[in-house]
Amino acid sequence: MSQSRGRSLAGVLLIGVLAIASNACAAHADRQQPNIIYLMLDDAGYGDFGSFGSPYVKTPNFDRLCAEGMTFTNHYSGSAVCAPTRCVLMTGLHTGHCRRRDNTAKAMTQELSKKNGRPLVFLEDSDVTVAEALHNAGYFTAGVGKWGLGNPGSAGVPEKQGFDYWYGYLDQVHAHDHFPDEIWDGGKMVSVVGNQNKKKETYIPYEQERKTLELIRQNKSKPFFLYLAVTPPHGAYIIPGTDPTFKMYKGIPGSTQVQHYAAMITRTDQMVGKILDTLSELHLDENTIIFYTSDNGPNAPFVKAIDSAGGLRGTKRMLYEGGIRAAMAVRWQGHIPAGRRSDFVWDMRDVFPTLCELGGAKNPKNLDGISVVPTLMCKQQKSRDIHYWEIHSPFQQAVRFNNWKAIRFGTEEPLELYDLKNDPQEKRNVAVDNPAVVQKLEAFLTTARTDSPYFPAVQKKKRKKKKTL
C-alpha cells in the first residue's frame, strides 16, 4: 500500500467521530419484537466509510450510526462475492455448508442443466431463511434490492423463502443494470416506466429508496423486518450526472468511474439519513435496530485510487482481509449505548441467530452462527474460536483462529499464515515459524466443509511455463 495515502489499519481504527464509550450498559428492550432494518451495500470496501478513515468518501449517516450506536472493527462478510454472502446471511450457514458457495456453480450437473440451463444454484424448499423464521414469529418481512438466490419459477424466489414482499432484482446479473426495463415487484415482473425502448429515465436506486420509506410508513404499527440489499455501488458504475453527489466528487483520484463509485455510496448513505428521519418522525427510534454494512470487499481499481480496502490486503474475490472484512455499524437507541467500539469477531452467519433472539423467533438447531445479542447489550461474550470461508473462483479456503489467519489456494497448496494482531495487513507469512498452528488449522480444514456436487474442492491449476526460444 502506498505511503502517500498515509493510512495504516492502526490509523484507520483511531480515526472517527465516536465518543469515548461509556461503561454503562443498556438493559434489554421492553418491547420483545423490535423492528429490524438490515442494510447492506454492494461491493463497498472496509475503508469506504468516514468513521473507518476514508479521506475521500463521505458517509455522514454511517458515521452517525457509529456515534449513536456500536461500531464493529472485526466484522466479516459471508464471502468475497455477492451470491454466497447472501446465502450465508439468509441461512446462517458458512460457505462450507450453505447451498450457494460462489456466484456460479463450478460443476454443471445434469440436474442444474435440466432446471435452468445455467450454472446457477438456488435455494430449495428445504432451506430455512431468517426471513422465514421472523415471518413465523409475526413479523412483516420485506426486501428491497438484489436477491441472487432464486430466479422466477424456482423455489428460491423471496416469496417462497419467507418474504411477504420483495422489490428489486432476482438475477444478480440483471442487477448490474441500474436502468432496467423491468423489475420484480410483489411476486411478478413489471415494466419500469421511463426505461422502455432503451430509454434511461428511471434510476432504480432512487426507486429502492422510495419503496423503503413507503414500506416503513405502511407497517409502522407492526413489527417489521426490512432487508435492504441495495445495489450501489456495484457496477455498472453509474449515477445520473445531475445528482449532487456526483458533482461532489469532481477531482477525486482516479477515473470518472471512481467518481461514480464514491457518489453511489454517498447517495445511498443519504437514503439512510432519510430512513432515520422517517423513524424519528414516526416515533420508532427506540423500537428499531439498524445494521449497516457491505457484502464483500471492493474491486481493485477503487483500492488503487482511494484505498477502498482501508489498508487491508486483497480485493473482492479474494479471502485476504480486504475481500471479506466489512465495516459494520449497529444502532438501537435506548438499548445500545452511544459511541461504543468493539473488536468482537463475528460474521454474517451470526445474523440469523442474532435476529431470531432479538425478534423472539425460533432458531433452527443446525446453524453455524451464534447470536451476538450479548455483545450488542454490552455483556461479556466469547467469540467462537474458528471462522471459515471458501470460494471457488479459484478455489480458496480461509480460516480465522483467534488472531491467526490462514489462507490456502487449492486443496494441496501449503497454508499461508498471518498474525492479525501484529500484521493486520497480512504482509508476512509466518507459517514456517508456527508449525503447531499450521497443523491445527490443516486438521480443521479436513472437516470444515461438506461436499457439494456444484462446488467441488479442487487443486490449484498449475500455470504452464512458457517455452523460451
Least confident of 10-19, 257-266, 457-466: 10-19
Of 376, 287, 216, the residue nearest 30 (C-alpha): 287
Interval 211-238: pLDDT, tens: 999 999 999 999 999 999 999 999 999 9
pLDDT for 463 equals: 60
Task: Examine the domain organization and report whether 184 and 72 are in the same domain.
Answer: yes
Residue 2 has pLDDT above 80, yes or no: no
Residue 22 has pLDDT above 60, yes or no: no
Residue 176 has pLDDT above 80, yes or no: yes
Residue 115: pLDDT band (50, 70, 90) is: confident
Task: Examine the domain organization and report whether 205 and 288 are in the same domain.
Answer: yes
- % of the chain surpassing 90 pLDDT: 87
Residue range(s) defining the domain that contains residue 264:
32-385
Task: Examine the domain organization and report whether 275 and 409 are in the same domain.
Answer: no
Residue 9 has pLDDT above 60, yes or no: no
Q: Is residue 7 part of a domain?
A: no
C-alpha 81/C-alpha 74 separation (Å) is 18
C-alpha 114/C-alpha 122 separation (Å) is 13
Task: Examine the domain organization and report whether 428 and 293 are in the same domain.
Answer: no
| Counted domains in the chain | 2
pLDDT for 465 equals: 56
Q: Could you tell me the CATH number of the domain that includes residue 405?
A: 3.30.1120.10
pLDDT for 114 equals: 82
Residue 147: pLDDT band (50, 70, 90) is: very high
| Higher pLDDT among residues 412 and 463, named by residue | 412
| Higher pLDDT among residues 17 and 314, named by residue | 314
pLDDT for 460 equals: 78
Task: Examine the domain organization and report whether 319 and 336 are in the same domain.
Answer: yes
Q: Is residue 463 part of a domain?
A: no
Task: Examine the domain organization and report whether 262 and 139 are in the same domain.
Answer: yes
Task: Examine the domain organization and report whether 370 and 397 are in the same domain.
Answer: no
Task: Examine the domain organization and report whether 200 and 177 are in the same domain.
Answer: yes
Q: Is the pTM of this model over 0.85?
A: yes
Q: Is residue 4 part of a domain?
A: no
Residue with grid cell 445511498, as numbered in its chain = 268
pLDDT for 112 equals: 87
C-alpha 276/C-alpha 213 separation (Å) is 10
Task: Examine the domain organization and report whether 409 and 305 are in the same domain.
Answer: no
Residue 314 has pLDDT above 70, yes or no: yes
Task: Examine the domain organization and report whether 118 and 140 are in the same domain.
Answer: yes
Residue 7 has pLDDT above 70, yes or no: no
pLDDT for 10 equals: 39
| Higher pLDDT among residues 108 and 335, named by residue | 335
The last residue of one of the domains, among 347, 370, 385, is 385
The last residue of one of the domains, among 385, 417, 437, is 385
Q: Could you tell me the CATH number of the domain that includes residue 358?
A: 3.40.720.10
Q: Is residue 9 part of a domain?
A: no
Interval 263-272: pLDDT, tens: 999 999 999 9
pLDDT for 3 equals: 37
Q: Is residue 211 part of a domain?
A: yes
Task: Examine the domain organization and report whether 277 and 370 are in the same domain.
Answer: yes
Interval 355-380: pLDDT, tens: 999 999 999 989 999 999 999 999 99
pLDDT for 466 equals: 53
Per-residue H/E/C for the chain:
CCHHHCCCHHHHHHCCCCCCCCCCCCCCCCCCCCEEEEEEECCCCCCCCHHHCCCCCCCHHHHHHHHHCEEECCEECCCCCHHHHHHHHHHCCCCCCCCCCCCCCCCCCHHHHHHHCCCCCCCCCCCCCHHHHHHHCCCEEEEEEECCCCCCCCCCCHHHCCCCEEEEECCCCHHHCCCCCEEEECCCEEECCCCHHHCCCCCHHHHHHHHHHHHHHHCCCCCEEEEEECCCCCCCCCCCCCCHHHHHCCCCCCCHHHHHHHHHHHHHHHHHHHHHHHHHHCCCHHHEEEEEEECCCCCHHHHHHHCCCCCCCCCCCCCCHHHHECCEEEECCCCCCCCEEECCCEEHHHHHHHHHHHHCCCCCCCCCCCCCHHHHCCCCCCCCCEEEEEEECCEEEEEEECCEEEEEECCCCCCEEEECCCCCCCCCCCCCCCHHHHHHHHHHHCCCCCCCCCCCCCCCCCCCCCCCC
Q: Is residue 197 part of a domain?
A: yes
Task: Examine the domain organization and report whether 104 and 204 are in the same domain.
Answer: yes
Q: Is residue 281 part of a domain?
A: yes
pLDDT for 266 equals: 98
Interval 23-75: pLDDT, tens: 344 434 344 799 999 999 999 999 999 999 999 999 999 999 999 999 999 99
Q: Are the C-beta atoms of 156 and 122 separated by less than 8 Å?
A: yes
CA distances from residue 132 to 94, 138, 189, 268, 356 in whole angstroms, order as listed: 18, 10, 22, 27, 10
Arithmetic mean of pLDDT over the chain: 92
Residue 410 has pLDDT above 60, yes or no: yes
Q: Is residue 461 part of a domain?
A: no
Mean pLDDT of the region 143-172: 97
Interval 426-460: pLDDT, tens: 999 999 999 999 999 999 999 999 999 999 999 97
The last residue of one of the domains, among 370, 385, 400, is 385
Beta bridge partners of 409: 396
Query: Residue 159: CB partners within 8 Å, gap ≥ 6?
Result: 165, 166, 187
